[in-house]
């Protein structure tokens, strides 16, 4: 496969469309008679709407309609079935009743001829509230009762812990974080009365899911909704499942019989389109004096809204990551007055690994052992949670290669011992892990008489490189150059494809593209048997390489370009259409990616400055489909990890439930000044189980482990152990006066 395009550092095929402005994002569409909807959002965090007085606003220039719970047309509750690609972000239809569950919940929508008119009128809608105190902190919420929502158990964890000679008993907290993609949520809804059909122009990580939920909420057949999302300015999870503004746009459009655009402003991106829940993890590790785990216990409490159950599993890694005879993990949801949480890059495992990997470091410190050594002493040679063998696991090699490249053996474990000029260096490391999945996908490949190919599927490219992966696989199977392959994605009128989430899109679409390409090639070979040059030949004796059809036993140069065969028979193109899904073989294995982060922080105690000065990630993520887009995923995740570790936290005013840092000035994400040169190595061992190339997907794994590597490095430099993210200078100042550990 040496001349294969697979794995080459191809630039994204959509890159030039984006930088030249040719790529049309959801809000870039324009329609005749387009009107604008602006939401009125609740200014209380709990209670009910007493009354809405829209009289003044209704008379304002350009105002066409003001929708609220008193006049909204009927909307239905969606079925909420993730497996069937019909999961909403928030299941409550907007304006269903007068209840207010969270600050920033839509309570009315003003539609006007211009955006400015709608914005102005929205500020003149008078809403009376009956407010009750909101709950926006885990420690002030009603404690959950009954069975935990997630559970892991083997052996006897409680007595294993009691009997262990070495015990660690600590609690870790991760705050609410907000996704903040550059492209904000927005919908343009176009109702076609003649066809009785809605077309929704969206920014969606799952157009098929969005379409399915839309048909349920709006109460129309699936065929009556088309969802289009050709380009997405990233999502990080908050665009996986649809949110209320989309239904408001649709209803508005049907009501007025005009296209309606509803944008979610940045402030409401913090309330009504999901967030990472706050999660508290009470971790207890029991171990022998030489660091072998005897018991691992993680008791987890996480927030969700009063509207929806929402769980992100933090106890699965508790069970599978290390070898340990006695394990217990329980996880419970706690209701708060926020919008419904939603997956944010690496859901479950990212917070889980902050706790588990921090605890492993605290154990290493306690036992005076090297942190990598402690991990190797508890290396899991199979998945002890499921009992299944790994499909492929090279974590040991990731630790070793990382340690070598980072220079780990030069690390002096003594706190504050590694000086460089005015700064004290701290070194940290952590494991990363993320499961490999595969869903269903249908792909259509057409080889065309002009020598090009076209591949289409309703999956979408959220900025990760899916367009490019499609072109690469078609090119690899047909020999048609990448620049002659057109890829069409992000429209529910195309063959159904997966949601772009869970890092499973690449692994999911590869088999369908691969097999559809082969099927199209076979159709060409069959046609070739009627072509004069090969007349009478058995199609099986022919093959297609470098876009040329030739006898198996002769070089490509002896054959003819495939398009000549199509042209000679007056065919516009020949098709391969294939649907693929998970296999039985997959069920025999535990399929996960692994890796290790190594980082260095520099602490200047004179000016209380903590900065990240070095980062290395070694990733065992199966075969890399594209060296450039793969690297981009890991680097992007580490930038996000620096944000998670040092900056990100959504802060609520406990009196009102208002997220007070609801903007880019106050909610800080890592920027260039926070990020050093990042290095990333892929081990590139194909996974033999998941698909034809052995790719496992790498969208989320890079974020797992980042925060614990950072807090560990921070401890090493400062002696302060941060168990509640983010690391803040105030916490380091407070901690530096009292000795920890
Ligand atoms: Mo990912 S949080 O499934 O977009």
* 1 pLDDT more than 50: no
Our answer on whether the CB atom of 124 is closer than 6 Å to any ligand 1 atom is no
Question: Interior CA angle at 159 toward 153 and 164, to 5°?
Answer: 110
* Domains of the chain (ranges, CATH numbers): 15-22+439-581 (3.30.365.10), 35-132+182-233+239-270 (3.90.1170.50), 279-437+587-733 (3.30.365.10)
Which residue is closest in CA terms to ligand 1's atom 3?
Answer: 501
The overall average pLDDT reported for the chain is 96
What whole-number distance in Å separates Cα of residue 583 and Cα of residue 275?
Answer: 33
Please give the average per-residue pLDDT across 269-298, as a whole number. 98
> What is the largest distance, in Å, between two alpha-carbon atoms of the chain?
88
Please give the average per-residue pLDDT across 680-702, as a whole number. 97
pLDDT of residue 600: 98
Residue to mutate, 233, 462, 502, ligand 1, most ligand atoms under 8 Å from C-beta: 502
b/e burial code for range 312-327 (CB count within 10 A of at least 16 → b) = bbbbbbbbbbbebebb
In 3D, which of 188, 186, 185 has the Cα closest to residue 34?
A: 188
What whole-number distance in Å separates Cα of residue 406 and Cα of residue 427?
Answer: 10
Closest ligand 1 atom number to CA of residue 499: 3
pLDDT of residue 2: 47
Q: How far from 565 is each of 3, 444, 531, 552, 561, CA to CA, in Å?
A: 25, 20, 6, 17, 7
pLDDT of residue 625: 97
In 3D, which of 347, 367, 118, 148 has the Cα closest to residue 249?
A: 118
Residue to mutate, 239, 240, 273, 349, ligand 1, most ligand atoms under 8 Å from C-beta: 240
Our answer on whether the CB atom of 697 is closer than 6 Å to any ligand 1 atom is no
* 737 pLDDT more than 80: no
Given pLDDT bands bounded at 50, 70 and 90, which one contains residue 480?
very high
Collapse the DSSP code of 529 into the 3-class scheme (helix H, G, I; strand E, B; otherwise coil) and give the result: coil
Counting residues of the chain whose pLDDT is more than 70, the rounded percentage is 99
| Active site residues per annotation | 700
What whole-number distance in Å separates Cα of residue 455 and Cα of residue 496?
Answer: 13
How far away, in angstroms, is 342 Cα from ligand 1 center? Answer: 9
**pTM (predicted TM-score):** 0.97
More confident residue, 1 or 55: 55
pLDDT of residue 80: 86
Our answer on whether the CB atom of 343 is closer than 6 Å to any ligand 1 atom is yes
Our answer on whether the CB atom of 502 is closer than 6 Å to any ligand 1 atom is yes
Our answer on whether the CB atom of 179 is closer than 6 Å to any ligand 1 atom is no
Our answer on whether the CB atom of 637 is closer than 6 Å to any ligand 1 atom is no
pLDDT of residue 736: 57
What whole-number distance in Å separates Cα of residue 45 and Cα of residue 130?
Answer: 10
- Say if CB 272 and CB 303 are below 8 A apart: no
Render pLDDT for 601-657 as a digit per residue (tens, 0 to 9): 999 999 999 999 999 999 999 999 999 999 999 999 999 999 999 999 999 999 999
How far away, in angstroms, is 240 Cα from ligand 1 center? Answer: 7
How far away, in angstroms, is 60 Cα from ligand 1 center? Answer: 42
Our answer on whether the CB atom of 436 is closer than 6 Å to any ligand 1 atom is no
Which residue is closest in CA terms to ligand 1's atom 4?
Answer: 237
Our answer on whether the CB atom of 279 is closer than 6 Å to any ligand 1 atom is no
What whole-number distance in Å separates Cα of residue 463 and Cα of residue 489?
Answer: 12
Render pLDDT for 527-568 as a digit per residue (tens, 0 to 9): 999 998 898 899 999 999 999 999 999 999 999 999 999 999
How far away, in angstroms, is 207 Cα from ligand 1 center? Answer: 14
Phi first, then psi, for residue 37 (nearest 5°) are -110, 135
* 697 pLDDT more than 70: yes
The burial of 337, by beta-carbon neighbours within 10 Å (0-12 exposed, 13-18 middle, 19 or more buried), is given as buried
Render pLDDT for 118-174 as a digit per residue (tens, 0 to 9): 999 999 999 999 999 999 999 999 988 889 999 999 999 999 999 999 999 999 999
């Amino acid at each position: 496969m040496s001349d294969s395009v697979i794995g080459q550092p191809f630039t994204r095929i959509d890159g030039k469309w984006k930088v030249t402005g040719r790529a049309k994002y959801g809000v870039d569409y324009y329609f005749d008679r387009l009107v604008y909807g602006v939401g009125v959002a609740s200014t209380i965090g709990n209670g009910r709407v007493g009354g809405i007085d829209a009289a003044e606003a209704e008379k304002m220039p350009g105002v066409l309609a003001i929708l609220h719970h008193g006049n909204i047309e009927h909307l239905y509750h969606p079925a909420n079935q993730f497996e069937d690609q019909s999961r909403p972000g928030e299941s409550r239809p907007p304006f269903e009743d007068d209840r207010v569950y969270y600050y920033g919940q839509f309570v009315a929508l003003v539609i006007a001829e211009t955006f400015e008119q709608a914005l102005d009128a929205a500020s003149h809608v008078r809403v009376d509230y009956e407010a009750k105190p909101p709950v926006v902190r885990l420690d002030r919420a009603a404690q959950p009762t009954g069975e935990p929502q997630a559970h892991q158990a083997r052996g006897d964890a409680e007595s294993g812990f009691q009997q262990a000679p070495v015990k660690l008993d600590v609690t870790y907290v991760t705050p609410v974080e907000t996704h903040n993609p550059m492209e904000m949520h927005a919908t343009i809804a176009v109702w076609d009365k003649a066809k009785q059909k809605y077309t929704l122009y969206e920014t969606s990580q799952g157009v098929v899911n969005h379409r399915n939920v839309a048909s349920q909420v709006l109460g129309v057949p699936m065929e009556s909704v088309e969802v289009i999302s050709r380009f997405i300015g990233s999502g990080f999870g908050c665009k996986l499942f649809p949110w209320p503004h989309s239904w408001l746009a649709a209803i508005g459009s049907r009501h007025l019989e005009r296209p309606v655009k509803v944008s979610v402003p940045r402030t409401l991106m913090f309330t009504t389109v999901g967030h990472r829940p706050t999660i508290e993890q009470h971790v207890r590790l029991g171990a022998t004096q030489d660091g072998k785990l005897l018991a691992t216990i993680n008791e987890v409490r996480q927030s969700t809204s009063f509207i929806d159950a929402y769980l992100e599993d933090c106890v699965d890694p508790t069970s599978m990551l290390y070898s340990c005879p006695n394990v217990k993990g329980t996880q419970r949801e706690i209701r708060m007055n926020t919008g419904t949480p939603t997956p944010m890059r690496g859901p479950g495992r990212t917070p889980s690994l902050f706790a588990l990997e921090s605890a492993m470091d605290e154990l290493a410190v306690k036992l005076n052992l090297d942190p990598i050594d402690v991990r190797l002493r508890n290396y899991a040679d199979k998945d002890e949670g499921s009992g299944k063998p790994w499909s492929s696991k090279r974590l040991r090699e990731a630790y070793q290669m990382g340690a070598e490249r980072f220079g780990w053996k030069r690390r002096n474990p003594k706190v504050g011992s590694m000086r460089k000029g005015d700064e004290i260096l701290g070194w940290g490391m952590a494991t990363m892990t993320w499961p490999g999945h595969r869903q269903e996908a249908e792909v259509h490949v057409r080889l065309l008489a002009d020598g090009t190919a076209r591949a289409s599927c309703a999956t979408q490219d959220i900025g990760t490189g899916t367009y490019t992966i499609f072109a690469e696989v078609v090119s690899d199977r047909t020999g048609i150059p990448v620049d002659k392959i057109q890829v069409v994605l992000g429209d529910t009128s195309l063959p159904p494809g997966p949601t772009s989430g869970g890092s499973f899109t690449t692994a999911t679409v590869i088999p369908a593209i691969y097999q559809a390409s082969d099927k199209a090639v076979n159709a060409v070979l069959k046609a070739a048997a009627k072509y004069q040059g090969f007349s009478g030949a058995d199609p099986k004796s022919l093959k297609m390489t470098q876009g040329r059809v030739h006898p198996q036993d002769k070089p490509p140069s002896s054959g003819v370009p495939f398009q000549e065969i199509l042209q000679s028979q007056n065919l516009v193109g020949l098709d391969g259409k294939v649907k693929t899904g998970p296999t039985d073989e997959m069920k025999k294995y535990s399929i996960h990616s692994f890796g290790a982060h190594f980082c260095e922080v520099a602490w200047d105690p004179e000016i209380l400055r903590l900065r990240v000065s070095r980062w290395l990630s070694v990733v065992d993520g199966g075969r890399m489909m594209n060296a450039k887009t793969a690297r981009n995923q890991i680097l992007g995740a580490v930038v996000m990890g620096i944000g998670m570790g040092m900056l990100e936290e959504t802060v609520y005013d406990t009196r009102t439930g208002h997220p007070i840092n609801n903007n880019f000035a106050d909610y800080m994400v890592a920027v260039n000044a926070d990020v050093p040169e990042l290095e990333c190595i892929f081990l590139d061992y194909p996974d033999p189980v998941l698909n034809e190339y052995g790719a496992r997907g790498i969208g989320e794994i890079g974020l797992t482990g980042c925060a614990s590597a950072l807090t560990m490095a921070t401890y090493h430099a400062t002696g302060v152990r941060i168990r509640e993210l983010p690391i803040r200078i105030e916490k380091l100042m407070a901690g530096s006066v009292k000795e920890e550990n």
